[in-house]
Structure 1
Amino acid sequence: MQLQQLRYVLEIERTRSMNKAAKNLFVSQPNLSSAVNNLEKELNVQIFNRTNKGVEVTKDGKLLVQYAKSILGQVEQLKKAYGVEEKKHVNFLEISQTGMLHLTPVISKIYNLLKDSRVQIIIKEDNLGAVIKHLYYMKSEIAIIVMNTTQLSLIEKVLDKRKIEFNILDKTKLGVAVSPKSSLYNRDQVAFEELDKLTYIEYLKEKDLSVNQDSELLDIWSKFVGNTIHATDRETVSDLLWNLDSYSFDIEKNIEYLKKRGLKFIKLQENIDMYVGWLKRKREPLSYEATLLVEELTKNIRL
């Protein structure tokens, strides 16, 4: 149980309308309904009856409203006792992404558009499986992913079961990023079997290799991969590329980003397609902030 859920209950009880309460609370109606449903499941009670005329409070709901008012009243007294000022409303935009796509220009643009309305943007980077879980368990509102054709066919059933929709922005090609230290630097193309001679620098967010995005790629072509160094932050990956005869997987969409860092993108002869897209929960409208993000993604990523 969270205090925010109790505040939601009181606002719904006051307005007797889910839509009005959502508007007053600056949240989407589906998110509000989900929060209340989760509280009902946790307490094993029905708080509201939804009718054509609006929302009615049940007998159990009336008791909960009394408790909520008491609890929140005590919280306010506690804040006043210790001189804690009530913070102004802040809008949150929580984004999960799989990495391999550098979104700094897009995030900077929407932040500049939203900063006057008090917004906090939270970006969480993880492997593909974890990103889908973030979305399903409402830890993020939207997810931005890059995955290969094999991954797409594998997760379609997972997304459908979890009522998550995948919106494809574009297709791009898988390749490798190298620094001038690499023996591949002057090449325009490379075959997988040639990579065995170099050290693979893997950007890894979790120790569980079986679910990491790059590792799923390597499960298919593992016989072509030689020595590997796993790094959990981008700076280390970049430093290693600059100090070793090595490579890291990347996508063609990132060519300009790589150039700015003195790195080069080299195509793979195998011509492997990668999909770039975004995920959202079905039947749940995006917030204004997330809608802006999608618009900017479309402008900047789609060809």
Structure 2
Amino acid sequence: MRIQQLEYLEKIAETGSINEAAKQLFISQPSLSQAMKELEKEYGVQLFYRSKVGITLTDAGREFINYSRGVLDQVNLLNEHFGQDKVRKQIFSVSAQHYAFVVNAFVELVKEIGGDEYQFTLRETQTQTVLSDIQTFKSEIGVIYLNKFNETVMRRLIAEKDLEFVPLFEAQPHVFVGRDNPLTKKKRLKLADLADYTYLSYEQGDTNSFYFSEEILSTLHRKKHIQISDRATIFNLMVGLDGYTISSGIISSDLNDEKIVAIPLDIDDSMTLGYLHHKKIEMSSTAARYLELLKEHIRNYGFKIF
């Protein structure tokens, strides 16, 4: 195996095309194809599905490229330290439910290590997609919550997908509302206080099971209920319709959340927020640094890290 072959592999995965990758690498298409065939033969794996419309990584290919990126990261560190080569483009991806602290840490990571070239991905997405992204190596880190209602089911799914859930902190449920909502006159809320207001929740697509809900108490009946797919829209509806949702209580003024207020909810329940990673993949230095920044922001919000 040669380092050059791993660089070729990453370029093919990035472009989805042998021809386009060859052009960008300034080598011939037959030479690139041969290099990949030799790599597959050496390790006894099929890295790509080849078709008329392009190339996609196999499951083994996605796993292989995560290991190869670790190797290339180490090579990059050597080159950077001794000044022998151009610094390699930073690559990192995180998938999460909709939490401000996830975005805060991501912003800090990009500012700190992004450099002149980087390819980072932040996916605020459905719960099932978070698990799938980590299982298929689309993201290194996933952020979700567990509580006494969903924990048994979620931990079973996490184990089936060869993932691990690492708790970060515990949060008491809060009701998120717009600043002008009449509910803000109360310092604490009961479920009865919410009965006449529009309940807002994140939709979960085809796997719209109560266990995948991002909000606790998902099984309760609501007279008025709207499902939303993104955080900006849910905030707009909190303001425009006096709607509410239930979450961790973390609101970020840095992310234009100043129009939203979090009010404690009187209920015997809590949320354990944590991160997912794949058991079979060694965490990259970028992912490790992201987790450090994530913990810093959580502490800044007044929570204690487990």
TM-score (norm 1): 0.67
Query: Secondary structure of the equivalent of 1:252?
Result: coil
Partner residue, 1:39: 47
* C-alpha RMSD of matched pairs (Å): 3.7
1:10 aligns with 2:16: no
Contact 1:197 1:226 in 2 (8 A): yes
* Alpha-carbon offset, residue 255 of structure 1: 6.8
Gap change, CA 1:248 and 1:235, over 3 Å in 2: same
Partner residue, 2:108: 109
User: Structure 2: how far apart are the matches of 1:140 and 1:218?
Assistant: 28
Within a 5 Å distance, the mapping from 1:194-233 to structure 2 comes to 194-204=193-203, 206=205, 209-210=208-209, 213-214=212-213, 217-220=216-219, 222-223=220-221, 225-233=222-230
Contact 2:154 2:211 in 1 (8 A): no
Contact 1:97 1:125 in 2 (8 A): yes
1:284 aligns with 2:281: yes
Aligned with residue 237 of structure 1, among 221, 228, 234: 234
Equivalent residue letter for 1:153: T
Which aligned segments of 4 or more residues in structure 1 are displaced greater than 4 angstroms? 4-9, 11-14, 255-260
Equivalent residue letter for 2:228: A
Partner residue, 1:162: 161
User: Structure 2: how far apart are the matches of 1:272 and 1:265?
Assistant: 16
* Alpha-carbon offset, residue 166 of structure 1: 0.9
Within a 5 Å distance, the mapping from 1:60-209 to structure 2 comes to 89-116=88-115, 118-204=117-203, 206=205, 209=208
* Alpha-carbon offset, residue 258 of structure 1: 8.7
User: Structure 2: how far apart are the matches of 1:192 and 1:261?
Assistant: 24
Is the radius of gyration larger for structure 1 or structure 2?
A: 1
Partner residue, 1:275: 272
* Alpha-carbon offset, residue 281 of structure 1: 0.6
Query: Residue by residue, what CA displacement relative to the aligned partner does 1:1-33 show, whole Å, maximum 9, x if unpaired?
Result: 99449979938958x99xxxxxxxxxxxxxxx8
Query: Secondary structure of the equivalent of 2:91?
Result: strand
Partner residue, 2:4: none
* Alpha-carbon offset, residue 117 of structure 1: 6.3
Q: Percent identity?
A: 20
User: Structure 1: how far apart are the matches of 2:255 and 2:88?
Assistant: 38
Query: Secondary structure of the equivalent of 2:294?
Result: helix
For structure 2, the residue ranges without an aligned partner over 5 or more in a row are 1-8, 19-31, 51-57, 59-85
For structure 1, the residue ranges without an aligned partner over 5 or more in a row are 18-32, 45-86
User: Structure 1: how far apart are the matches of 2:235 and 2:160?
Assistant: 38
Gap change, CA 1:176 and 1:210, over 3 Å in 2: same
TM-score (norm 2): 0.66
Query: Residue by residue, what CA displacement relative to the aligned partner does 1:41-88 show, whole Å, maximum 9, x if unpaired?
Result: 99x9xxxxxxxxxxxxxxxxxxxxxxxxxxxxxxxxxxxxxxxxxx99
Q: How many residues align?
A: 241
* Alpha-carbon offset, residue 149 of structure 1: 2.9
Contact 2:127 2:204 in 1 (8 A): no
Query: Secondary structure of the equivalent of 1:270?
Result: coil
Query: Secondary structure of the equivalent of 1:253?
Result: coil
